[in-house]
Structure formats: C-alpha cells, structure tokens
Amino acid sequence: MRIAVLTGAGISAESGLATFRAGDGLWERHRVEDVATPEAFARDPALVHRFYNARRAKAADARPNAAHRALAALASRHDLVLITQNVDDLHERAGSRSVIHIHGSLTRALCAACAHRWDAPAVMSAGDPCPACAARAIRPDIVWFGEMPHHMEIVWEALAAADLFVAIGTSGNVYPAAGFAQHAGRCGAECIEMNIDDSANARDFDRRILGPASQTVPDWVASLGA
Ligand code: OAD
C-alpha cells in the first residue's frame, strides 16, 4: 500500500512546540506580517532572525514524541512518503529519512543573494556573511507567506499515486497543503484526518480519528500491521 502522510504543528505540540493558531499559539503572540513575510524581513531582518532563532532553540530542546516515532517505524513496513509543513526536525530525530519539508527547515540557512544553502548555526544574525558569496543577506531557509512552498512537483505526484492519504495535526488553513486531501481523494486515495479538534477542511476526508497524535498515530500504525 502506498501511503502519503502530511503532518502539521499538532504532531509536535506534545513535544512542547507551540502550534500557530491555538489561543496561545505563535500567531497570537506575533503578527505574521511582522515575522513571516519577505516584506517583514526587508523591513526588520533583526526581528525576523530573533523570531526564528527562538523557534530554533525551542526545537533543539524538544524531543520527538510517540507520533513521530510511529511514523518512522511505518516507513520500514510500507511505501511511505512523509510530507511536513513543520520546520522542526523532530521527524528526522525520530528516525524518518527523506522527509519532505514544504515550508523549509530551521536547521538550514539560505543566502538571499546567491541562493546558497548550508546548515544554520544556532543563532543567525542579519550582519553575518554568506559562506559562499560573502553577501550580508542570510536568512532562515523557511518558506514565508507569499513564497512558493518547496518540492511541490514530488508532492503532487506522491498524492496522485497514494492509496491512502493521512493528515495529522494540521488545521487545514494554509494552501497548498490544505488542498492535498482533495487532490489525493480525487486521484483515488482514501483520506484520513487525525486531529485533536475540528479542522477547516474536514469535508475532504473520508474518516476522522479524534485525539492527541501521540496516541492516535501509534494506534493507527499498529492497526495497519506489517
Ligand atoms: P496550526 O497551528 O494551524 O494547526 C495545528 C493543528 O494541530 C490544529 O488543527 C490543532 O487542533 C491540532 N493539534 C493540536 N494539538 C494536537 C495534538 N496533540 N494532536 C493532534 N492534533 C493536534 O498549524 P498548521 O496547520 O501546521 O506556515 O499550520 C500550517 C502552516 O501555517 C504552518 O506550517 C505555518 C503556519 O503559518 C508558515 O509559517 C509558512
């Protein structure tokens, strides 16, 4: 069976990382327009670096939970494509390989001048030079609002080929990821949603498993068998 999984901030919530749209979520405490757009970075790069330096530190301190581990185990038994909107590396640290980060990654840096990419230091600052071209235009390798998500060709193909599409811990508010269930469903996949609460695109799923990911994901993986 070919399985495509999409994860969102909810899968890392029980590892202690804040989600975006909860009452105490990141977008309640920081305005998207101030920290997560190319315009924000052009206006105040130091503020944007501070925001992502804090996210990077939190992610480094967090540990993968049972849901991340269950997905890593699933890959050894099934043909799995793991797509994440998350910029943390908890899937990798749980043992998953070839994770598709459509919104980029906190562990990577990008030069806005020459497009060179490298492993991000723990703390990035606007004045640091690019190791390749020396321009002082370094930024986190994160996809901001108004930018194209990464790896979309591979993703659309994986969704079209999937027998089963599962979305875990995502509110279904941000496209293109919010449209993955509709695309996979139209191409013939069964679509399952796992969330602790209602999502904005619940109508696109055939089945819904309600509960915390650290319980629902391991149970679902166990139910698939070998
Ligand atoms: P959101 O914060 O929008 O949604 C998190 C979802 O996780 C919600 O639907 C919660 O109900 C659910 N959730 C919370 N705790 C959970 C748990 N323990 N188990 C299962 N589900 C749980 O986060 P995303 O949907 O990932 O993009 O947000 C998508 C994108 O919006 C992010 O990648 C980010 C943000 O703006 C960029 O920054 C470009």
Q: Would you say the CB of residue 13 lies under 6 angstroms from ligand 1?
A: yes
Residue 12 has pLDDT above 90, yes or no: yes
Residue 22 has pLDDT above 90, yes or no: no
pLDDT in tens, 186-209: 999 999 999 999 999 999 999 999
pLDDT in tens, 94-123: 999 999 999 999 999 999 999 999 999 999
Distance 189 CA to ligand 1 centre (A): 23
pLDDT in tens, 74-100: 999 999 999 999 999 999 999 999 999
Among protein residues, the one whose CA lies closest to atom 4 of ligand 1 = 171
Residue 226 has pLDDT above 80, yes or no: no
Residue 27 confidence class, pLDDT cut points 50, 70, 90: confident
For the record, the structure tokens of 72 come out as: 């890593």
Residue partners of 43: CB distance under 8 A and separation at least 6: none
Task: Specify the pairing of strand 138-142 against strand 104-111.
Answer: antiparallel
Residue to mutate (ligand 1; options 106, 170, 173; most atoms within 8 A of CB): 170
Residue 146 confidence class, pLDDT cut points 50, 70, 90: very high
Mean residue pLDDT of the chain comes to 96
Residue 36 CA: nearest ligand 1 atom is: 38
In contact, 190 and 206? CB cutoff 8 Å: yes
Instruction: Check residue 24 and give its pLDDT.
Output: 85
Residue in 95, 86, 126, 121 with CA at minimum distance from that of residue 107: 121
Distance 10 CA to ligand 1 centre (A): 5
Displacement of CA 89 from its chain's centroid (Å): 9
DSSP-derived 3-state class of residue 175: coil
Among protein residues, the one whose CA lies closest to atom 36 of ligand 1 = 20
Domains of the chain, with CATH numbers? 1-17+63-103+148-226 (3.40.50.1220), 18-61+105-142 (3.30.1600.10)
Residue in 18, 41, 22 with CA at minimum distance from that of residue 145: 41
For 167, list phi and psi in degrees, rounded to 5.
Answer: -105, 130
> pTM value?
0.97
